[in-house]
Amino acid sequence: MSKEKLTTTLFLAMPDFSHPFELHFDASMIGIGVVLNWSREGSCSKENLQKKVWKGIWKIQGASVVKTFMWQACNNILPTKEVLYKRKIVQEPSCPICGLANETVDHILWSCPSAKDVWTECSPKISKCASIVDDFSAIMAHLLERLDADQLQLMAATARQIWLRRNSVVFGGELTDPSTIIRWAKDQVENWCTFSKRIPKREVVSGSPSPAAWTKPPQGYMKINWDASVDKRRKRMGVGVVVRDHDGRAIVMLGTSREYVQDPSMAEAIAAREAVMLAQRLELRHIILEGDSLEIVQLLQKEEECWSTYGQAVNDTKQRLHSWQGWGIQHVSRSANGAAHQLAQLPLGYDAAQEWRGSFPQCVLSIVSKEC
């Protein structure tokens, strides 16, 4: 038996002595061997544990995106650095926040010092539900037995916010403090409780395929166009995001840049994420996203996880999108994305991100005026 199997098998976890077990032992001239064997009666197989966790997750009161995230976490299919390292997508598997251990699901969501800070401040009862098993599904089974419905709802929302914070560190270098993470989780729970009573299901708005000219969004919606530019010589990318209302008026514009990004698809994925994050900061309720990268738009429309080199940005954007009451995303031609395309050229010349409200760059505003 390999060393890996010996050190990762579930039987090396501390046994529950309330269950029946058998003790087998033998001796020889050079040593003693003892084996503690749990009997099948009263024990829980891995298959039964998975079924228990599966049923428990989908009974949690909350948004479908939160339940889906918890299912992904318990099945170890989140794009952690350890997973990406095994797929030879990243160079090393260490945690991007603490750097003290490999980034596994249970580490980043539970045992990382930064995650522990969040759980300690979130709920003493949750933080005390520590588990010595290095498996998030086993941790979740432990929590399902000890937390009530409200506590489970907050725990799931908080776990997702911890993951989103992790993505902010990876893509933006920004570590959100525990108090803000908890506030966002509680706001998400409160918003779901409010809107679930009034809205039977999430409304999804779809547009016509690849329009050649910019069109106004429906009444009550904001349209967000994004684009990315790449300067391979300077190893730099620019992001342009333009937010307009149903009359076509510019509300907010965002220009930002990233160093060491030369792949156009990666740049477009990051730009789409910046557009969604801007919508979150503006607390917009109904949005329609438009971009001229067909590849990224199609990836964002799919339910499946994206495992490409820019999959983390795509998956994070999809998770954020599903928190909206009504949203849509469609591919448009470059001619229908002129304002965002022009805006994406500007940040290539400076480092700091810039938002415009009320007073906009004239070269972009002139395009907006023509399109209206």
- What is the 3 state secondary structure string of 12-55? HCCCCCCCCEEEEEEECCCCEEEEEEECCCCCCCHHHHHHHHHH
Under CATH, which architecture does the 204-371 domain have?
2-Layer Sandwich (3.30)
Nearest CA to 337 among 213, 206, 223?
A: 213
Most confident of 3-12, 80-89, 235-244: 235-244
How far, CA to CA in Å, does 207 sit from each of 75, 201, 291, 329, 338?
34, 19, 12, 7, 18
For β-strands 326-331 and 236-244, DSSP reports them as unpaired
- Maximum CA extent, the chain: 92
Residues in the chain: 372
Alpha helices (H) along 283-337: 294-301, 311-321
pLDDT of residue 330: 93
pTM of this structure: 0.52
Q: Looking at the predicted structure, is the pLDDT value of residue 9 above 50? A: no
Residue range 24-51, pLDDT digits in tens = 555 544 555 555 555 444 444 566 767 7
Whose structure tokens read 């959100």?
176
pLDDT of residue 53: 83
Alpha carbon distance 181, 347 (integer Å): 29
Tokens at 82, concatenated: 């350890």
Q: Looking at the predicted structure, is the pLDDT value of residue 339 above 70? A: yes
**E strand or H helix at 341:** helix 338-345
Q: Looking at the predicted structure, is the pLDDT value of residue 75 above 90? A: no
State whether residue 92 is helix, strand or coil: coil
Give one DSSP letter per residue of 157-205, joined into a string: HHHHHHHHHHHHHHHH-----HHHHHHHHHHHHHHHHHHHTT-SS-EE-
For 324-346, what is the mean pLDDT?
91
**E strand or H helix at 347:** none
Tokens at 39, concatenated: 């009997």
Q: Looking at the predicted structure, is the pLDDT value of residue 6 above 50? A: no
Q: Looking at the predicted structure, is the pLDDT value of residue 364 above 80? A: yes
**E strand or H helix at 130:** none
For 294-321, what is the mean pLDDT?
87
Q: Phi first, then psi: give them for residue 210, nearest 5 degrees.
A: 45, 60
Alpha carbon distance 89, 263 (integer Å): 14
State whether residue 288 is helix, strand or coil: strand
Alpha carbon distance 121, 123 (integer Å): 6
- For the chain, give the mean pLDDT: 82
pLDDT of residue 3: 44
For 175-187, what is the mean pLDDT?
91
Q: Looking at the predicted structure, is the pLDDT value of residue 101 above 60? A: yes
Nearest CA to 275 among 257, 263, 289?
A: 289
Residue range 116-163, pLDDT digits in tens = 999 999 887 787 765 555 688 888 888 888 888 899 999 999 999 999
pLDDT of residue 15: 52
Contact at 8 Å (CB) between 287 and 325?
no
Contact at 8 Å (CB) between 96 and 170?
yes
Nearest CA to 109 among 149, 69, 142, 144?
A: 69
Give the domain ranges of the chain. 46-196, 204-371
- CB-based contacts of 137, cutoff 8 Å, min separation 6: 49, 50, 53, 74, 75, 76
Higher pLDDT, 289 or 320: 289
Residues pairing with 250 in the sheet: 244
pLDDT of residue 179: 93
Angle at 154 between CA 153 and CA 159, to 5 degrees: 105
**Residue 216 carries which DSSP code?**
P
Residue range 231-258, pLDDT digits in tens = 988 889 999 999 999 999 999 999 999 9
